[in-house]
Amino acid sequence: MTLRSATLQPGPAGYSASQIVLHWIIAALVVFQLAFGGMMGPAYRAFRRGTEPAAADLFAANVHVYVGIAVLVLAVWRFALRLTRGVPALPAGEGPVTAWLARIAHFLLYLFIFGMPVTGMLAWFGMVEQAGEFHETMKPVIILVVALHAAGALWQHFGARTDVLRRMLRPVRP
Name residues whose C-beta falls within 8 Å of residue 148's C-beta, 6 or more positions apart in sequence: 101, 105
CA atoms of 15 and 172, how far apart (whole Å): 6
For residue 108, state whether it binds ligand HEM (rule: CB under 6 A): no
The contact mask relative to ligand HEM for 49-88 (x = CB under 6 A, - = no) is ---------------xx--xx-x----------x----xx
Asked if residue 3 lies in contact with residue 156, where contact means CB atoms within 8 angstroms, the answer is no
DSSP states of 122-163 as a string? HHHHH--HHHHHHHHHHHHHHHHHHHHHHHHHHIIIIIS--S
DSSP states of 17-52 as a string? HHHHHHHHHHHHHHHHHHHHGGGGHHHHHHHHHT-P
Q: Which of residues 132-151 bind ligand HEM (CB under 6 A)?
A: 132, 135-136, 139, 146, 149-150
Q: Which of residues 18-37 bind ligand HEM (CB under 6 A)?
A: 19, 23, 26-27, 30-31, 33-34, 37
For residue 116, state whether it binds ligand HEM (rule: CB under 6 A): yes
CB of 10 to ligand HEM, least distance (A): 15
Which residues of this protein are in contact with ligand HEM, per CB under 6 A?
19, 23, 26-27, 30-31, 33-34, 37-38, 40-41, 44, 64-65, 68-69, 71, 82, 87-88, 90, 102, 106, 109-110, 113, 116-117, 120-121, 123-124, 132, 135-136, 139, 146, 149-150, 153-154, 164-165, 167-168
